Amino acid sequence: MMINYGKTCRVLMLALLVLPVGALGAAPISTIAQGNMVFLGEEGLDITAAMGGDTRIGWWASAADISTSAPSYSIQIADPAAFFISPTEFSGRLGPWYRLDSAGSADGSAFTVTDPNLDIRVLDATVGVDATSNGWITAGDEVEFKISTNLYQMTQRAGVAGAPITIKVQSPDGAIYSALANRNGAYTGIVEMPVSTSPHLTGAIWDTGRTDAYPFGTYRIWAECNANSMKDNYDMPGKTYTPQSSLLDQERNPLIGVSTRTAAPTTAATSLPTTVKTTAATPVPTTVTTVPTTLPATSQETPTTIPATATKTKSPGFEAVLAGSALLLALAWSIRKD
């Protein structure tokens, strides 16, 4: 039987790629050495090495003197190979925890309990801008992710390359990608990426111009970490996962398109018609109305004045009476004289 060694090698390489962190002989991410940092929500931790044979741990409030006072709070370790950093029990008692000897005194550090934090930003690597804020990217530009977190301190643990953080990219049709391709056609896995620094930059790993794989539309993006079931036990935004952000992948900026269409019609329709109707139509009818009102009043006064004057000019009729009286007197005088 012939063996296809090329195919066999490829299968072995793929198997190695999907093995979890620590599966190649290194200590698993759950193994905690003395002084390591642990996070709220982690379960199944093996703290045997951190305990040094002791069976109790203690925590002192910040103002307490560890050398002269009893611990503010202590816990009996039932199974050091399967320890749980309970958010309920440890959230108000962050900081260093010490192992306790049989007398209840501090016997050296055990580990430090920390509240995790996690944030992701979507960067347009082509133009060098943060696309998280405006929620839009030009189709064809490449995307880079920026992860900020304190979980990178898991690298203190032996054999751990970084905190396993998954970037979730959900397509407009609801599919979630496990890897993304850049402009050169190289694929980058985004499931449990080992993050060893903060901030952590992925580089340009997503070419949005590959419409055969990444259709136009709105994508949902977030990040999460479920190392040692921490997200299952401490499901808090900004802690073990980030809130979802929207990224619209299309050719034209929707913000510019909306503002241009709205401004032009509003200015033209509101100002011009209002000005024309107010200045032209109102004064003209007012002036025309005043002219007819004045003219009839004047024409009515003229006939009233003229008859009154004519009546007064007829008063000289008294002269005729006087003239008649004079004639009568003259006639009487003439008769008398005769």
Provide the pLDDT for residue 283.
45
| DSSP designation for 227 | G
Radius of gyration of the CA atoms of the chain, in A: 50
Can you say how many angstroms the Cα of residue 36 is from the centroid of all Cα atoms in its chain? 36
Provide the pLDDT for residue 239.
98
The chain-wide mean pLDDT, for the chain, equals: 79
pLDDT, mean of residues 102-130: 96
Q: Is 260 helix (H, G, I), strand (E, B) or coil?
A: helix
Provide the pLDDT for residue 122.
97
Residue partners of 111: CB distance under 8 A and separation at least 6: 32, 34, 35, 36, 37, 38, 47, 50, 96, 97
pLDDT, mean of residues 135-157: 96
Provide the pLDDT for residue 328.
56
pLDDT more than 90, % of the chain: 63
Provide the pLDDT for residue 330.
57
Q: Evaluate if residue 216 carries a pLDDT over 80.
A: yes
**CA 196 – CA 199 distance, rounded (Å):** 9
Provide the pLDDT for residue 323.
53
Higher pLDDT, 192 or 7: 192
Q: Evaluate if residue 112 carries a pLDDT over 60.
A: yes
**CA 23 – CA 109 distance, rounded (Å):** 28
**CA 126 – CA 45 distance, rounded (Å):** 42
Please classify residue 39 by burial: count the beta carbons closer than 10 Å to its beta carbon, then call 0-12 exposed, 13-18 middle and 19+ buried: buried
Q: How many Cβ atoms from other residues are within 10 Å of residue 4's Cβ?
A: 9
Q: Evaluate if residue 16 carries a pLDDT over 80.
A: no
Provide the pLDDT for residue 250.
86
pLDDT, mean of residues 151-157: 97
Question: pLDDT band at residue 305, thresholds of 50, 70 and 90?
Answer: very low
Strands in the chain per DSSP E: 37-39, 56-59, 73-76, 95-100, 106-114, 118-124, 129-130, 136-138, 142-149, 163-170, 179-181, 187-189, 193-195, 200-207, 217-224, 245-250
Which of 62-76, 82-96, 215-229, 244-258 has the weakest average pLDDT?
244-258
Residue partners of 39: CB distance under 8 A and separation at least 6: 85, 113, 114, 115, 116, 151, 154, 230
**CA 192 – CA 42 distance, rounded (Å):** 16
Q: Give me 324's structure tokens.
A: 């008649």
pLDDT, mean of residues 177-186: 96
Beta strand pairing call for 163-170 and 193-195: antiparallel
**CA 221 – CA 143 distance, rounded (Å):** 12
Provide the pLDDT for residue 19.
44
| pTM greater than 0.95 | no
Provide the pLDDT for residue 160.
97
Q: Give 10-72 as a 3 state SS string.
A: HHHHHHHHHCCCCCCCCCCCCECCCCCEEECCCCCEECHHHHCCCCEEEECCCCCCCCCCCCC
Question: pLDDT band at residue 210, thresholds of 50, 70 and 90?
Answer: very high
Question: pLDDT band at residue 309, thresholds of 50, 70 and 90?
Answer: very low
pLDDT, mean of residues 52-57: 96
Q: Evaluate if residue 271 carries a pLDDT over 70.
A: no
pLDDT, mean of residues 244-248: 95
Q: Evaluate if residue 269 carries a pLDDT over 80.
A: no
Beta carbons of 177 and 169 less than 8 angstroms apart: yes
pLDDT of 126-140, one tens digit each? 999 999 988 999 999
Q: Domains in the chain, start-ordered, CATH in brackets?
A: 21-114 (no CATH), 118-255 (2.60.40)
**CA 317 – CA 246 distance, rounded (Å):** 112
Beta carbons of 220 and 243 less than 8 angstroms apart: no
